[in-house]
């Protein structure tokens, strides 16, 4: 439903690969709420994914950029400003990739060149895009920048690997740059820590289905979907959240505040019964 929350606003959205991408849902809903958008992704992802369909649906242009390349980001921000005819209001960083996860290297056997790539793609790219935006003075006063994070930045979750370190760095960059950009231009910078979600990046996480089931049982409101996430992100781009900055905001149905839920306890109990039964057979 449109509340015209983003009427007159313009924004740049990184990370829409296909219809499952969280960035895809943000793009659709931003336009529904009255925004104009520019979409971007790497040339390879543009070729392999379906971003052109999204561009058609939303009337957006697509400007290719590798978010780890400052030269690409400079061209991208220039291109977006040219397209919009001036400064714009919001940026979404929805980017994550770990070569260690992809190649099955565990956390106690990391390839360090891969780790450098994980950090560059999944976290330092956030610093790069904010630095380029600020140097080009690309954002309007009271603009809003959001990146997507995960609770593995605070707590250890089996199988999340070096992405946990990348998310911790990502959240720290939001605080460090949030101070500078807020003080100077009232631009706010936050991260949204989302429930596990079935997307291309999500499916790289070891045992995603089990993790999603566990998180759902633990969360009083259940897991937040990609659409739910987009709704929340839109409020952060809107003028209704002007004084929220330098925060990591959990959007996870309550998961982050839980220790044990009845639904998880019941399943755990059943598992134990099975285990006892197995033991009594021997």
Ligand X SMILES: NC(=O)c1ccc[n+]([C@@H]2O[C@H](COP(=O)([O-])OP(=O)(O)OC[C@H]3O[C@@H](n4cnc5c(N)ncnc54)[C@H](O)[C@@H]3O)[C@@H](O)[C@H]2O)c1
Looking at 126-134, 144-152, 153-161, 256-264, which segment touches ligand X (CB under 6 A)?
144-152
Among 67, 132, 139, 174, binds ligand X (CB under 6 A): 67
Q: Which is nearer to ligand X, 6 or 51 (CB)?
A: 51
Binding of ligand X at residue 161 (CB under 6 A)?
A: no
Among 50, 140, 172, 200, binds ligand X (CB under 6 A): 200
Binding of ligand X at residue 97 (CB under 6 A)?
A: yes
Binding of ligand X at residue 148 (CB under 6 A)?
A: yes
Binding of ligand X at residue 154 (CB under 6 A)?
A: no
Binding of ligand X at residue 253 (CB under 6 A)?
A: no
Among 11, 64, 96, 178, binds ligand X (CB under 6 A): 96
DSSP string for residues in the chain = ----TTTT-EEEEE---STTSHHHHHHHHHHHTT-EEEEE--HHHHHHS-HHHHHHHHT-EE----TT-HHHHHHHHHHHHHHHTS-EEEEEE-----HHHHTT--GGG--HHHHHHHHIIIIIHHHHHHHHHHHTT-EEEEEEEEEEE-GGGTS--TT-TTHHHHHHHHHHHHHHHHHHHHHHH--EEEEEEEPP--STTGGGSTTHHHHHHHHHHH-TT----HHHHHHHHHHHHSGGGTT--S-EEEESTTGGG-S--HHHHHHHHHHHHHHHHHHHH-
Ramachandran region, residue 253 (left: φ > 0; alpha: ψ -120 to 50; beta: rest): left
Q: Which is nearer to ligand X, 84 or 250 (CB)?
A: 250
Give CA separation, 32 vs 26, 175, 225, in Å.
10, 30, 18
Binding of ligand X at residue 58 (CB under 6 A)?
A: no
Q: Which residues 220-239 are close enough to bind ligand X by CB under 6 A?
A: none
Among 77, 90, 126, 150, binds ligand X (CB under 6 A): 150
- Asked if 66 contacts 82 with a C-beta cutoff of 8 angstroms, the reply is no
Among 11, 21, 115, 123, binds ligand X (CB under 6 A): 21
Binding of ligand X at residue 22 (CB under 6 A)?
A: yes
**Shortest Cβ distance from residue 12 to ligand X (Å)?**
12
> Residue 267 corresponds to which tokens in the numbers above?
């399943």
**Shortest Cβ distance from residue 282 to ligand X (Å)?**
39
**Shortest Cβ distance from residue 254 to ligand X (Å)?**
16
Q: Which is nearer to ligand X, 142 or 227 (CB)?
A: 227
Binding of ligand X at residue 64 (CB under 6 A)?
A: no
Looking at 26-34, 77-85, 88-96, 183-191, which segment touches ligand X (CB under 6 A)?
88-96
**Shortest Cβ distance from residue 183 to ligand X (Å)?**
26
**Binding interface with ligand X (CB under 6 A):** 14-15, 17, 20-23, 41-42, 45, 66-68, 94-97, 121, 148-150, 194, 196-197, 199-202
């Amino acid at each position: 439903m449109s509340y015209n929350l983003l009427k007159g606003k313009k924004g740049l959205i990184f990370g829409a690969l296909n219809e499952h991408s969280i960035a895809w849902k943000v793009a659709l809903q931003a336009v529904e709420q009255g925004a104009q958008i520019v979409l971007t992704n790497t040339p390879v992802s543009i070729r392999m994914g379906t971003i052109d369909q999204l561009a058609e649906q939303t009337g957006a242009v697509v400007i290719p950029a590798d978010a780890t390349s400052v030269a690409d980001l400079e061209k991208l921000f220039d291109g977006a400003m040219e397209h919009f005819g001036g400064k714009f209001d919001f940026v979404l960083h929805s980017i994550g990739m770990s070569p260690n996860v992809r190649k099955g290297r565990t956390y106690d056997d990391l390839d360090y060149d891969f780790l450098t790539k994980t950090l560059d793609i999944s976290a330092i790219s956030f610093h790069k895009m904010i630095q380029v935006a600020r140097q080009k003075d690309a954002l309007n006063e009271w603009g809003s920048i959001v990146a997507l994070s995960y609770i593995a930045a605070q707590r250890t979750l089996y199988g999340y690997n070096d992405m946990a370190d990348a998310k911790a760095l990502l959240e720290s960059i939001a605080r460090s740059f949030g101070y500078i950009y807020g003080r100077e231009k009232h631009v706010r910078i936050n991260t949204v820590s989302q429930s596990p979600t079935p997307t291309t990046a999500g499916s790289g996480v070891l045992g995603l289905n089990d993790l999603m089931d566990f998180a759902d049982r633990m969360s009083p409101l259940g897991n937040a979907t990609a659409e739910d996430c987009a709704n929340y992100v839109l409020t952060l781009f809107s003028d209704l959240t002007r004084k929220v900055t330098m925060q990591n905001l959990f959007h996870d149905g309550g998961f982050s505040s839980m220790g044990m839920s009845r639904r998880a306890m019941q399943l755990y109990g059943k598992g134990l019964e099975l285990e006892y039964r197995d033991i009594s057979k021997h």
